[in-house]
Structure 1
Amino acid sequence: MKATHNPPTPAQVTPADLLRMAALYLRRHGWHQGTYYAPTNTPTATPPACAAGAIGIAAAGHRVEHFSQLDPDALGDYLAALGAFVDYLDTTEPLFLIDEDGYLIDEHTSPYSWNDSPGRTCEQVITALETAADEWDHLHTTGGETR
């Protein structure tokens, strides 16, 4: 490398990037309900995953059994992407949990219960991840540059 050569600066991965990677993962490896990853007869690095599991794989670059296993940078990226997904679900498909006395338990849509909802399809999950990514870009970038 010459003294005047400047190595490229790594691009910042955004929540939108991770949401798109999660959608692509589901397209390639399959979708699952009930747990982060579908049980398989043989160990695999790329099992079918739920929306949150696919976001986790996108953030870590590999399968993790629990997201507390992520290193701090990957955990921050995972939480930011999951938060962007929840923000999208809150505006498009709000699901509020009310206890038996009529009190609000959770004001945010759970990506886990949304993913596991009976009748949910793989294509709905993939579309939601991609649309959430587009929404994040719309809210946080101007002309391709992060605001």
Structure 2
Amino acid sequence: MTTPVLTPVPADANPAVVLRAAADYIDQHGWLKGALYPEGYTSCPPACVTGAIRIVVCGRPSPDAKDRSKNQTTRILVAERVFAAHLGHTFDPDQTRRIRLAIETWNDRAWRSVIDVTNELRAAATAYDDTNGGAR
């Protein structure tokens, strides 16, 4: 499925920049539960937290690792780890599946709202900046 390329965050952006950009993306294009992107998406689809992180890093929806570079995959994983840690989850960095499952479970709660999602993405970014010396 071909989608337009959005301007991705800079390759040297820290996880806080990625998380804020994901919140902005959700504000602009919508939020989704239960999937990365809606079935049959065409351009700038609504996205779950993980889907939005992938879009802002890759500049387009990226459902599979084979759709992106190793550098993009690494940047996505780092942002996901930071967000999962903000939510109170501590995993070994190699537990990628468990990190994503924790984020997806949090995203998909029946009572979760888009405001909860964007606020927590921004709060995680601020916490990262506070701990790591500010935005880059």
TM-score between the two structures when normalised by the length of structure 1: 0.73
Q: Contact 1:56–1:78 (CA<8 Å) still a contact in 2? A: yes
Please list every run of 5 or more consecutive structure 2 residues that lacks an aligned counterpart in the other structure. Answer: 1-9, 91-97
Gaps (5+ residues) in structure 1?
Answer: 1-9, 95-105
Greater radius of gyration (CA): 1
Structure possessing the higher relative contact order (Cα contacts under 8 Å, 6 or more residues apart) = 2
Aligned to 1:76, which of 71, 74, 77? 74
CA shift at 1:68, angstroms? 4.3
Mapped contact 2:32–2:38 kept (Cα < 8 A):
yes
Deviations, residues 28-61 of structure 1 (Å, cap 9, x unaligned): 0000000001234xx4221100001000111111
Q: Which residue of 2 aligns with 1:20?
A: 20
Query: Quick one: structure 1 residues 56 and 108, their matched pair in 2 at CA, closer, same or farther if it must change by over 3 Å?
Result: closer
What is the aligned partner in structure 2 of residue 129 from structure 1?
A: 121
Matched-pair identity in %? 32
CA RMSD of superposed structures (Å): 2.4
Aligned length: 120
Q: 4+ residue stretches of structure 1 with deviation over 3 A?
A: 106-109
- Cα deviation, residue 108, structure 1: 9.4
Structure with more of its chain in helix, by fraction: 2
1:131 alignment partner AA: A
What TM-score, normalized to structure 2? 0.79
Aligned-partner Cα distance in 2 for 1:18–1:74: 11
C-alpha change, 1:34 and 1:87, in structure 2 (3 Å) is same
Partner of 1:48: 46
CA distance in 2, matches of 1:107, 1:50: 15
User: Aligned partners of 1:56 and 1:135: how far apart in 2?
Assistant: 21
Asked if the contact 1:32–1:49 (Cα under 8 Å) also holds between the matched residues in 2, the reply is yes
1:69 offset after TM fit, Å? 2.5
1:97-108 to structure 2, matched below 5 A, reads none
